[in-house]
Amino acid sequence: MSNERNQTPGKVIIAGAGPGDAELITIKLQKRLAEADVIFVDRLVNPEITDLYARPDALVLMTGKQGYHDGSVAQEDINKLLVGHAQNGKTVLRLKGGDVAFFSNVLDELQSLSEANIPFEIIPGITAASGASAYAGIPLTARGYAKAVQFITFNPCSFYTREQWKAWASSSDTLVFYMAARNLEGLAELFLRHTKKPHTALAVIEQATTEHQRVHVSTLTNVKSDFAAVQFSSPSLVIIGDVVKLHEQFDWYAANKTGSVFNELVTVK
């Protein structure tokens, strides 16, 4: 008897859903949402995206992860689900927050698909750094402020050498830290050990590009006092560098939402 599953394999589309705003997805992703039989959705994906664009009969499954919390779906299980549904002839869409190439487990998934000979496609998305900086009016490499930008993770699993911290502390690049808001005091302390510019500007952007966006501005030396009572909601992004000074002048998003309870601007002087 022939194995129909192996003769008619499906495929997997791995796509970035952007930083939050449901309108910040690509036309290609919108088309693939309308085609997908099964959609695996990360925690940070705006549910409006599947509500608006997925097929009514599509199977939508949450496969989110959240640091510091139990209940996350194991990556190994996600890999098996992607392969299994595709082997059953389904068009599978793996929907990730931001862009698939920025601090996600895309490599594990690609390796699993490749080993199982499952066809796949990758659709880029707007990463959190681009979305957060744009909606906060902070150009990441503004001429005269920064010549480059670095994207870095900072969480309990991160380990960087003393030499690396010295390099970041002395750099004129814009530094964007993912997953850092819950340990912001520790991050600032590491910089203050090595920097000659303790008053370097720092911004924390909560729930960027959504109606709940909040922007908090301080400096390395004032983080502890300014944010002692602040609990940053997830997701939050940290930007360090002179470009943060441009926020007050070019904060177009908050200006468009003046008076809205969903977009309270929090600027600490």
Give the pair of three-digit tokens for residue 217.
Answer: 């501005």
CATH topology identical between 4-126 and 129-267: no
Which secondary-structure segment (H or E) carries 187?
Answer: helix 184-192
b/e string for 69-85 if b means 16 or more Cβ within 10 A? eeeebeeeebbebbbeb
pLDDT, residue 94, reads 98
Average pLDDT for residues 68-80, to the nearest whole number?
A: 79
pLDDT, residue 64, reads 72
Q: How far is CA 153 from the centre of its chain?
A: 11
Query: Could you give the residue numbers annotated as active site?
Result: 42, 65
Looking at the domain that runs over 129-267, which CATH code has it been given? 3.30.950.10
Domain boundaries, the chain: 4-126, 129-267
At residue 215, φ and ψ (nearest 5 deg) are: -120, 125
pLDDT, residue 71, reads 58
The secondary structure of residue 233, as a DSSP letter, is: P
Looking at the domain that runs over 4-126, which CATH code has it been given? 3.40.1010.10
* Residues 158, 19: Cα–Cα separation, whole Å: 23
pLDDT, residue 2, reads 42
Q: State the pTM of this model.
A: 0.88
pLDDT, residue 260, reads 44
